[in-house]
Structure 1
């Protein structure tokens, strides 16, 4: 009897469950019809509107597709809006018209007396290069009081209050925390007769490739040396960067240099210390190839601002007792811009690559020769890619065109950024720059410990490796051959060598070298110079005589 009662109770429960399931089944169609299906047109008070996608609807109990519900819950079914690509700009002027306008602008600059020149600031680490330029910008009104106060507070917060002036050029977090310049910083200033583009180069030996990148864009150089006891000697002796920086800028075509003897206030503005530093630097400058008429010296105090623009105030009283020469700004105002070749084909070596503010990729550098305008198609060498110049800027000001000698930023479109590299050259598709894998060069060997042997592995730049072969020792005065195939090339030697570029990877069978854009020195002075480095040291420099392959 008890078993029969339990079976009857179980049967009643099953019947109740069936009734509930049937009622839900009958009401399901009504609920589906009542709620609108997303994606279908629905009439409302103001007409027909679209409703977006929703989760899948439930059918009969137990028949729900759980996988479909899970995917719908991720909201992956969003409608993608098509991206409308902006058409590239078109050239508005013919090349002949651009050349005419460029000649008029350059002639107007010549007539007004305010000509443009680029200046690279070089010197040993901690000589005060960035501090000097930051204080000079402030003295000339390029940095306002609000910015100066912000830099002073920020540097004091991290315990580097003495670097407050340098913060105007050292803008990255790592540079400010470490207290050293690591990359090229660019600023502009105006003197009565010059518009000067400043390229503040790093002084640490680990960042020599960045220093070379800045020096390759410069017309003149400002060498900053530390007059503090023992500091000048540390930078000028072997291993210091004062010597190497001077040799590098001279090898890259810079012929004018101003020497700022900084931190003289730390030695009481002693004239004997200033004269001692000048007496050591002058012979080396002449030996490096600088003409004495194009080298000038000035004692300065970067932190106090003494002799940057003037020598007023009590802080300059000790200096005024013995120095009556020009200030640093006076010397900068006398720099002579070189002649620009605007009729030659465009040659634009890329010094930096970065993402543009909106679309496109930005490349910066100095135009070595020729002209470029917005909408022009340019070829990127080495490689087989081209791009269109979307816009041109200098000092964040847009330009319709730019000419040789200008430091500009080009924003490119219609090109994958992977094809843009530092060291690549932009040129016209109709007048390509030669690509060389084997070339001959006339070099001068610097003050090195280990001589150069035939087959020595060298680097032309920070990314291109090569081997020297077939050296020929020359007479430095006449250029005539002294000895063919010498075993070694020692310091101070002038020689003609053959340099072969090595493949980037030696693992593959039959790997070919990646040629580099080069021109002979007779064709282009800017594109015909080479620097040879070995084990992080610049060992030689020279000019390209001939391209063999």
Structure 2
């Protein structure tokens, strides 16, 4: 509209219309008020001329030719397998980690300090963050500003969205996903956890703070249940803020004694869990124990970086069809758009044509970025930024899935799932309204049928067609997506890209929430419609 107004102001008097002349009295115009039309000039031409629409030829947008493929599919698979094998044997293994924990446990502060100690946050940025946080009256948040980059996050003093960074240890290349701890931003935390291999749980050891996070309603328990349900099997527990309890060994042992049984109950094997005492703000026991004189009196174990350096990435599924759930959409360079996400399975290369589901649009991969470096291809397990061309950005939506046109992801509107029910107050009944979370997408749904309750130890049916499913139970449910259309509007339910757990583990995991609370998690057994 602004451009149109500018065009009108530039147009002045229409072509073929004499300019008005000022009179001597009262600003009246001398001569004829309405000029006669010139021969051969109709009203439509006058309108077009007045809007300045025919003054210059329209600019011609020349599309760049799409890049060519570097490898045939079989050759690409062999190249990917060879590169992964060499990297695992001689290079640094790549692993992604989600930082979780109750609000104000010190997650962003810990990661900001760690990035600085590892040289990923320069001195100039550190000083700028110190000045800015002090001026804002939040000097204790200076390290957190290394990851909390938005104005609203800095003003409120909390993490709201997933912040992604990378760091390097002697044997690992680690992608860090810093998750929000506030209950209001659990959906963002779920989106981040679905992109992670491992978890770093940060505990606030201050008296009362640990208890509020670990008791019912606190995010410590819920975050652990969520990441385990999404396939994360390794966790490091960093017991933070021990300086606030005078580096008490008794307090550390108390917290470890309470967390350990809950980890086992949640499905974490003891061999894949580890604990470390830290003081994030002062950097104690992150890289070195040298500054922690009080801590050294009773602790001589590994530092946080030592434990991060031993994380084992899971096996990468490069043989299965390509699946990339879109976690973010942003403007790329030139035409098209860019998306970010984690490659769940398969291999993608520059020049490849990809389908976006749901929908019937396709785009061509113009460039791939991994750990801030442009690469010609990327394999399962990588967190990537992909520039797409030959596609309208409006067709790229968070939660959609990129896949090959020859091997599409099924779109499900109804499916059977096997779930574990969490510690809920109100049982699940047939007809319950719920929300299904699948990677970065959440959709309204209904529990259309309770098929069976199961024995959690062996999976055998305890009761068929139960009336309710209570807390702690394992059950098979039929879930059906429901429309969000307002009353009177045409009801159209659009399917979401999903696969059975047996076909693709990462594409077959779901979370179920109700009333702002996560009530169950499980796997997709069968897509029924």
Q: What TM-score, normalized by structure 1, do the two folds share? A: 0.86
1:472-510 per-position Cα deviation (integer Å, ceiling 9, x unaligned): 110011111111111211111011111111123253577
Three-state SS of the structure 1 residue aligned to 2:318 is: coil
Larger Rg, first or second structure (1 or 2): 1
Paired residues for 1:287-298 under 5 Å:
287-298=265-276
For residues 428 and 155 of structure 2, the distance between their equivalents in structure 1, rounded to whole angstroms, comes to 40
Partner residue of 2:204 out of 226, 242, 245: 226
Aligned residue number for residue 443 of structure 2? 464
Partner residue of 2:473 out of 467, 487, 493: 493
For residues 153 and 341 of structure 1, the distance between their equivalents in structure 2, rounded to whole angstroms, comes to 46
Paired residues for 1:470-509 under 5 Å:
470-505=450-485, 507-508=487-488
Aligned residue number for residue 400 of structure 1? 376
Aligned residue number for residue 98 of structure 1? 76
1:319 paired with 2:266, answer no
Three-state SS of the structure 2 residue aligned to 1:447 is: coil
Three-state SS of the structure 1 residue aligned to 2:507 is: coil
Q: 1:114 to 1:58 in 2, by over 3 A?
A: closer
For residues 342 and 68 of structure 2, the distance between their equivalents in structure 1, rounded to whole angstroms, comes to 23
Query: How many positions carry a matched residue from both structures?
Result: 496
| Structure 2 unaligned spans of 5+ | 1-10, 20-29, 38-45
Three-state SS of the structure 2 residue aligned to 1:460 is: strand
- Say if 1:520 and 1:543, in contact at 8 Å, map to a contact too: yes
Three-state SS of the structure 2 residue aligned to 1:210 is: helix
Deviation at 1:361, TM superposition (A): 1.1
For residues 151 and 55 of structure 2, the distance between their equivalents in structure 1, rounded to whole angstroms, comes to 39
Paired residues for 1:90-489 under 5 Å:
90-313=68-291, 316-461=292-437, 463-468=442-447, 469-489=449-469
For residues 149 and 159 of structure 2, the distance between their equivalents in structure 1, rounded to whole angstroms, comes to 9
Three-state SS of the structure 2 residue aligned to 1:463 is: strand
For residues 484 and 82 of structure 2, the distance between their equivalents in structure 1, rounded to whole angstroms, comes to 46
Deviation at 1:90, TM superposition (A): 2.5
Q: What TM-score, normalized by structure 2, do the two folds share? A: 0.90
- Say if 1:225 and 1:259, in contact at 8 Å, map to a contact too: yes
Three-state SS of the structure 2 residue aligned to 1:213 is: helix
1:91-132 per-position Cα deviation (integer Å, ceiling 9, x unaligned): 232112211221221111111141000000001111110000
Q: 1:334 to 1:65 in 2, by over 3 A?
A: farther
Aligned Cα RMSD in Å? 2.3
- Say if 1:392 and 1:410, in contact at 8 Å, map to a contact too: yes
Partner residue of 2:505 out of 518, 522, 525: 525
- Say if 1:470 and 1:498, in contact at 8 Å, map to a contact too: yes
| Structure 1 unaligned spans of 5+ | 1-51
Three-state SS of the structure 1 residue aligned to 2:104 is: coil
- Say if 1:474 and 1:482, in contact at 8 Å, map to a contact too: yes
Q: 1:71 to 1:379 in 2, by over 3 A?
A: closer
- Say if 2:355 and 2:404, in contact at 8 Å, map to a contact too: yes
Q: 1:65 to 1:522 in 2, by over 3 A?
A: same
- Say if 1:58 and 1:64, in contact at 8 Å, map to a contact too: no
Q: 1:96 to 1:73 in 2, by over 3 A?
A: same
Q: 1:95 to 1:267 in 2, by over 3 A?
A: same
